[in-house]
């Protein structure tokens, strides 16, 4: 069995800030997540047209804002005027798309650990990986726990590795082929992030024996979360902050 890398992260992680309880990828979501006792948040980061790092899951703006088109086609000055909260509930009217810098200030000040998913606009994988890693290294320099950088994009993770090799990285994947160990090793990852339906206790053991940590998404059933934690899963990412309670 390989020695497992350091894992200074909680075993429960709030998906996109607060799961379904607040508008995803906003500072409002971070505050709601904290109100439920969660000490770690996962969120998505990409670049505006002028390469400002922002929080947004989708390539386009329509689902979670009142904007139109792709975020990467707009400068941050335009994106900052959009409403990213009203789509969920009137109580969140006027909530803006936050910058990565603003989220860093909030989470560092409140001792909240972060999983930054690098979510590049297609075609901008390398530049996004580089930019997000560079900013994370700077903005979390005083954090008690370093941010965990993760991505589906191998190109983005490789770029992040080159830019900020000291920051921990995790590979997110929907499938697990026979080369997963080599992929993780080549990217210098500390963890693999899998959909919980792929997990068995034996697979958790195999991943740990190979020297990697295991994070799972997106687990909204308390019984399933408890089972995965019993199996030794290192972190469970959830939308159901009101059902799955942080210690």
Q: Which domains does the chain have, with CATH numbers?
A: 12-238 (3.20.20.190)
Residue 185 contacts residue 166 (beta carbons within 8 Å): no
Beta-ladder partners of 199: none
Share of the chain above pLDDT 90, in %: 98
| Region at 138 (left for phi over 0; alpha for psi -120 to 50; beta for the rest) | alpha
Structure tokens at 122: 């297609």
Q: Would you state the pLDDT for residue 82?
A: 98
Read off the pLDDT band of 246 (50, 70, 90).
confident
The predicted structure's pLDDT at residue 173: 98
Q: What is the mean pLDDT of residues 91-116?
A: 98
Active site residue 138: no
Catalytic residue among 15, 74, 196, 208: 15
Residue 247 predicted with pLDDT over 80: no
pTM over 0.95: yes
Q: Which residues contact 179 (CB under 8 A, 6 or more apart)?
A: none
Paired residues of 149 in beta bridges = 116, 169
Residue 2 pLDDT: 84
> How much is the pLDDT for 13?
98
Active site includes 245? no
Mean pLDDT of 181-188: 98
Inter-residue contact 7 to 213 (CB < 8 Å):
yes
- Per-residue pLDDT, averaged over 159-175, amounts to 98
Instruction: Give the percent of the chain with pLDDT over 70.
Output: 100
Task: Say if residues 63 and 87 touch (Cβ distance below 8 Å).
Answer: yes
In this prediction, residue 71 carries a pLDDT of 98
The DSSP call for residue 196 is: G
Contact 116, 148 (CB under 8 A): yes
What is the C-alpha separation between 71 and 97, in angstroms, rounded? 11
pLDDT at 87 over 80: yes
Confidence of residue 191 (pLDDT cuts 50, 70, 90): very high
For 10-55, write each residue's pLDDT tens digit: 999 999 999 999 999 999 999 999 999 999 999 999 999 999 999 9
């Amino acid at each position: 069995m390989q020695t497992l890398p350091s894992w200074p992260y909680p075993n429960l992680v709030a998906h996109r800030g607060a799961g379904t309880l607040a508008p995803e990828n906003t500072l409002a979501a971070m505050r709601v997540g904290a109100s439920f006792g969660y000490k770690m948040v996962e969120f998505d980061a990409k670049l505006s047209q002028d390469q400002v790092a922002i929080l947004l899951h989708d390539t386009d703006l329509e689902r979670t804002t009142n904007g139109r088109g792709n975020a990467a086609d707009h400068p941050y000055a335009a994106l900052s005027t959009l409403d990213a909260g009203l789509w969920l509930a009137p109580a969140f009217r006027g909530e803006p798309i936050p910058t990565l810098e603003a989220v860093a200030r909030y989470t560092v000040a409140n001792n909240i650990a972060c999983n930054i998913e690098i979510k590049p606009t297609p075609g901008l994988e390398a530049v996004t990986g580089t930019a997000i890693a560079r900013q994370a290294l700077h903005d979390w320099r005083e954090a008690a726990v370093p941010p965990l950088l993760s991505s589906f994009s191998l190109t983005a993770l490789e770029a992040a590795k080159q830019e900020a090799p000291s920051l921990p990285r995790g590979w997110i994947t929907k499938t697990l082929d026979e080369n997963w160990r080599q992929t993780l090793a080549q990217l210098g990852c500390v963890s693999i992030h899998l959909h919980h339906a792929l997990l068995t206790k034996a697979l958790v053991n195999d991943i740990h024996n190979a020297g990697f940590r295991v994070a799972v998404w997106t687990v909204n059933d308390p019984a399933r979360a408890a089972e995965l934690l019993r199996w030794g899963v290192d972190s469970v990412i959830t939308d159901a902050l009101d059902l799955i309670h942080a210690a």
